[in-house]
Amino acid sequence: MPDVAALAGQLGLEPGSLALRQALTHSSYAAERGGDSNERLEFLGDAVVDLAVADYIVLNYPQLNEGSASVVRSRVVNEDSLATAARALSLGEYLRLGRGVVKEKGAERSSLLADAFEAVVAAVYLERGFEAAQDVVLQRLRSAIAEASLGDTLDDKTRLRRWAESRGLGGPVYEVTSTGPSHDVTFVATVSVGSLLASASGSTKKRAEANAAAAAWEELPDA
């Protein structure tokens, strides 16, 4: 495992930052070795990332109304983009994982990496404040915000619903199941629209449904 001090330096934290150490501790590792996992920091980081992106959108994209701004944010603050941000920081190399998760190559899993990025953002927030945390977020997501602001500002679930209703199919129906242990749950959503079925996974029910809607949209012949 590489020296965490290198990561701390990238984030502007002290080499011995306790908050960063906790942010890199998966619940599977904590269950085996004791100590605190990064789950509470992930909870806080989720809110900080949302605020950081929303604040930037409001200040820099005045042409977007509330609904459009919300869509842009949701397209940026999602499992895939947060996992990409985590990979840019090489977070997978620094994570402390339980033996079973290591064996399953958990450090490569997008859901786990996205959660770790949120936890790391929370660590920066706690030790250096909101502006420093926002800098970390925007360094990795600014270009994604710019790209999302140029596209169709309807979210995937709304797009799919409108398409279905325009063809007399009624609204899409979502079914969500979960797999995995309590410390590492993966949700799988299946959406049905007429004769079309599409499935996708996510770290939350909301993300799984959004991913399933996006998958269904890609399969529509005339969308």
Domain ranges of the chain: 4-150, 156-219
Concerning whether 46 is annotated as a catalytic residue, the answer is: yes
The tens-digit pLDDT sequence of the chain (223 residues) is: 678 899 999 999 999 999 999 999 999 999 998 889 999 999 999 999 999 999 999 999 998 888 788 888 988 998 899 999 999 999 999 999 999 888 888 788 998 999 999 999 999 999 999 999 999 999 999 999 998 888 666 678 888 988 898 888 888 999 999 988 877 788 999 999 988 899 999 888 888 998 899 899 888 876 5
pLDDT at residue number 212: 93
How far apart are the C-alpha atoms of 10 and 179, rounded to whole Å? 35
pLDDT tens across 61-120, in order? 998 888 788 888 988 998 899 999 999 999 999 999 999 888 888 788 998 999 999 999
Contact indicator for 175, 189 with CB cutoff of 8 Å: yes
How far apart are the C-alpha atoms of 70 and 55, rounded to whole Å? 11
pLDDT at residue number 138: 97
Contact indicator for 49, 121 with CB cutoff of 8 Å: yes
46, 79, 115, 184: the active-site residue: 46
Q: Model pTM?
A: 0.72
CATH class of residue range 4-150: mainly alpha
How far apart are the C-alpha atoms of 94 and 32, rounded to whole Å? 17
pLDDT at residue number 141: 96
Assigned fold of 156-219: Double Stranded RNA Binding Domain (3.30.160)
pLDDT at residue number 66: 81
On the question of a common fold for 4-150 and 156-219, the answer reads no
42, 79, 115, 118: the active-site residue: 118
Question: Which of 200, 210, 155, 193 lies closest to 177 in space, CA to CA?
Answer: 200
